[in-house]
C-alpha cells in the first residue's frame, strides 16, 4: 500500500542483482543501500528505477501521455523495450516535439488529443514537487503541452529523483510562457499579480547558451520568475490564470495522483491525500 503524504513514503528497495528493477516490498525501518556490482547506484540508475516502477502501471490497450525531460525520456525508452518484449498494444500522445521524435524513432504508435481527447494515464517528470504533490514544471519549456495532456488523462503520475522534492516550492524558477507581443506590458502585469499573491522576485527572459531567445513548440517565449519561496502555490496559480498575455504557468496544482521518487534507499512512493 502506498503511504500518504502525511506519513513516511513507502520505500521500494531495488532487488540486488536485477540491475535497476524495482520490487514491491513492505516498508522497512532500515532500508538497504542500493548497490550494483558492489558500487552505489548513480542518479541516472535511480531515475531508471523510478521510471521502471511507473512502467508497471501501463497495460495493453492504454492511451498514454508521454512526458518531456530527462526522466521522462528514460521512461519512453523503457516503454518501447517493454512493448517489443511483451507485445503491448497502445497509443500515446507526446508532450513535446522532442518526445514525439523519440517515440517515433522507437516505434511507439502516436496519436493526438484531437483524435484521442481522453487518455488513461500520463507519466512525466517535475522540476520541483512538495508534500502535497504540487509541482513546478517547465524547465524544458514544454509545460503548456504537458499540462494540456496531463489534464486530459484519468491519472497523472510523476517520476523524479529525490533532489526535486522540496518543503516549499519556489527555489526552481517558475516558468511563465507568454506571447512575444507586448512582452514588457505582460511582464509588468505578471509582476503585479505575483506580488498581490504574496511572492516577489525577478522575471527573466529565458535565453539559450548562445544568447538567443528560447522558443516553445508553440512559438512563444518563457519568462522565469525567480521567487525563492512560494508560500501559497494554489493562490498564486489562480492569480496568474487571469493575467492577459500569459499563455500558461508552470504550477501544476492538485493534478498528480502519486510520485515515484528515486532515492539512495530505493524508490519512494508519495501519494496525494
Q: Check if the beta carbon of residue 263 is closer than 8 Å to that of residue 216.
A: no
Residues forming a β-bridge with 176: 223, 249
Options 128, 146, 177, 265, the catalytic residue: 146
Characterize the bridge pairing of strands 91-94 and 63-66: parallel
177 in catalytic set: no
Within 13 Å and on the Cβ side, how many CA atoms surround 10?
A: 20
Instruction: Give, rounded to a whole angstrom, the gap between the first and last alpha carbons of the chain.
Output: 13
Residues 6+ apart with CB under 8 A from 204: 173, 223, 224, 226
User: What's the grid cell of residue 44?
Assistant: 541516472
Q: Check if the beta carbon of residue 251 is closer than 8 Å to that of residue 236.
A: yes
Residues 6+ apart with CB under 8 A from 244: 186, 189
Q: Helices (DSSP H) in the chain: which residue ranges?
A: 43-55, 70-86, 97-106, 143-151, 183-196, 233-240
**Residues designated catalytic:** 146
Amino acid at each position: 500500500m502506498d503511504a500518504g503524504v502525511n506519513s513516511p513514503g513507502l520505500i521500494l528497495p531495488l532487488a540486488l542483482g536485477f540491475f535497476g528493477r524495482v520490487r514491491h516490498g513492505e516498508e522497512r525501518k532500515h532500508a538497504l543501500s542500493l548497490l550494483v556490482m558492489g558500487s552505489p547506484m548513480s542518479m541516472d540508475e535511480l531515475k531508471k528505477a523510478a521510471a521502471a516502477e511507473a512502467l508497471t502501471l501501463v497495460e495493453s490497450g492504454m492511451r498514454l501521455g508521454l512526458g518531456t525531460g530527462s526522466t521522462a525520456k528514460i521512461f519512453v525508452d523503457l516503454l518501447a523495450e517493454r512493448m517489443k518484449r511483451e507485445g503491448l498494444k497502445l497509443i500515446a500522445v507526446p508532450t513535446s516535439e522532442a518526445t514525439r521524435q523519440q517515440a517515433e524513432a522507437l516505434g511507439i504508435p502516436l496519436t493526438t488529443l484531437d483524435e484521442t481527447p481522453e487518455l488513461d494515464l500520463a507519466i512525466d517528470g517535475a522540476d520541483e514537487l512538495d508534500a502535497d504533490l504540487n509541482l513546478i514544471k517547465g524547465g524544458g519549456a514544454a509545460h503548456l503541452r504537458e499540462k494540456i495532456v496531463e489534464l486530459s488523462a484519468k491519472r497523472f503520475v510523476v517520476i523524479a529523483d529525490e533532489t526535486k522534492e522540496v518543503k516549499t516550492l519556489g527555489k526552481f524558477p517558475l516558468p511563465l510562457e507568454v506571447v512575444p507581443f507586448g512582452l514588457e506590458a505582460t511582464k509588468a502585469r505578471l509582476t503585479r499579480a505575483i506580488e498581490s499573491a504574496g511572492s516577489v522576485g525577478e522575471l527573466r527572459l529565458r535565453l539559450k547558451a548562445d544568447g538567443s531567445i528560447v522558443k516553445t513548440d508553440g512559438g512563444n517565449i518563457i519568462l522565469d520568475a525567480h521567487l525563492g519561496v512560494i508560500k501559497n502555490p494554489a493562490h498564486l496559480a489562480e492569480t496568474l490564470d487571469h493575467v492577459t498575455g500569459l499563455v500558461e504557468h508552470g504550477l501544476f496544482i492538485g493534478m498528480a495522483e502519486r510520485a515515484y521518487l528515486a532515492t539512495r534507499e530505493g524508490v519512494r512512493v508519495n501519494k496525494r491525500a
